Homo-oligomer: A and B are copies of this chain.
Amino acid sequence: MRIQYDDMLNEFKRILIKKGFSEQDAYLSSKLFTENSLNGVYTHGVNRFPRVIKYIDKGYIKVDKKAEKVDGFGSFERWDGNLGMGNINAKISMDRAIELAREFGIGIVALRNTNHWMRGGTYGWQAADAGCIGICWTNTLPNMPAWGAKDSKVGNNPFIMSVPRSNGQHVVVDMAMSQFSYGKIEEYRLNGKTLPVPGGYDSEGNLSTNPEAIEETGRVLPVGFWKGSSLSIVLDLIAAVLSGGRTTYDIGKETEDEYGISQVFIAIDQSKFNLPELTDEIINNTVNDIKESTPKNADTNILYPGERVIATRKENLEKGIPVEESIWNRIIKF
């Protein structure tokens, strides 16, 4: 089934108000959830909403709290999320990083005690919509073995980078440090399919494309093997050191749920030195060149990072946002 954008937003808003959010915060958070589904990231839009409600009910997400500045030095500020709603806190933090970039050229907000920001790409698009380059990342609970290990001690710590184009078709990469999320591996299993590339290890210690075998060991593959494992560790440490917040290790110590995490938001106001035409020309030349690559198969469409979002968004605005009926039926009963 498909749900229209406004209907989905209003339904989320109704529920968040019922849970205790102010009208304004409920609208903002609902808009962010709805946009994620609109842009095709269903896992962190409608599909994730029920778990967020559960986290509100458990008291992990505080409906009456929001991020606030605790310390600042020039273009570097430290904020405390006060365990408020993750997507609102992240939006506030990137807004502030953009303000700092307007004043200083580059701005950074390190945010502690926050919650899952849902789709990280949101905040990269946000920076790019403001004409800025955006760089941001989050840590997570332990959900991936370090390279050479069997038990999960590092996070998949999504990392986002964005570059603005004046037509709004920004170039955005939004990547977790695991090759596939657990949700994606489950999706392949439920559909009876194998992964398109190796996504983890089987019980013999061999690389595998079999979702069930990987789920059994829990040994999901970091991107680039040892490289993604290393990058994940350093992203986690930087987020915790800059924010004075919790590391993946700290997050995993207490419960199996994920809350009180650490994030970093950097904005760079590239318009300080560039006319929009110049930035567009630099990006367009590269994007066009890459799309003119010799494809591996005749029918392979080579995409630039962020291209799929534009197409999905257009389709979902026209036809409505695809949702799984069982999930939607659960939501409307909240």
Contact = CB atoms under 8 A, between A and B. Distances in A.
A286 B148 contact: no
Given A104-B104, A106-B106, 20 more contacts: A72-B105, A73-B269, A74-B103, A74-B106, A147-B302, A149-B293, A149-B300, A150-B293, A161-B231, A163-B241, A179-B225, A179-B227, A197-B225, A223-B225, A223-B227, A224-B228, A233-B305, A237-B283, A237-B286, A249-B289
A303 B45 CA distance: 36
Nearest to A149: B293
Contacts of A145: 293
A241 B270 contact: yes
Interface of A: 71-78, 103-108, 133, 145-151, 153-154, 159, 161-163, 171-173, 175, 179, 197-198, 205, 207, 222-225, 227-228, 230-231, 233-238, 240-242, 244, 247-250, 266, 268-270, 272-274, 278-279, 282-283, 285-286, 289-290, 293-296, 300-305
A163 B108 contact: no
Contact of A75 (B104, B147, B161): B104
Contacts of A72: 105
Question: Most chain-B Cβ atoms within 10 A of its Cβ — which of A74, A145, A238?
Answer: A74
Nearest to A225: B197
Contacts of A147: 302
B238 A161 contact: yes
B173 A237 contact: no
Contacts of A238: 133, 161, 163
Instruction: Provide the main secondary structure of the chain A interface.
Output: mixed
Contacts of A78: 273
A173 to B, nearest CB: 4
A282 B225 contact: no
Question: Sorted from nearest, which 6 A-B pairs have the closest CB atoms?
Answer: A76-B105, A223-B224, A149-B293, A74-B104, A230-B305, A73-B105
B270 A163 contact: no
A173 B234 contact: yes
A49 B250 CA distance: 45
Nearest to A293: B149
B108 A148 contact: no
A282 B149 contact: no
Contacts of A303: 148
A295 B145 CA distance: 10
A302 B148 contact: yes
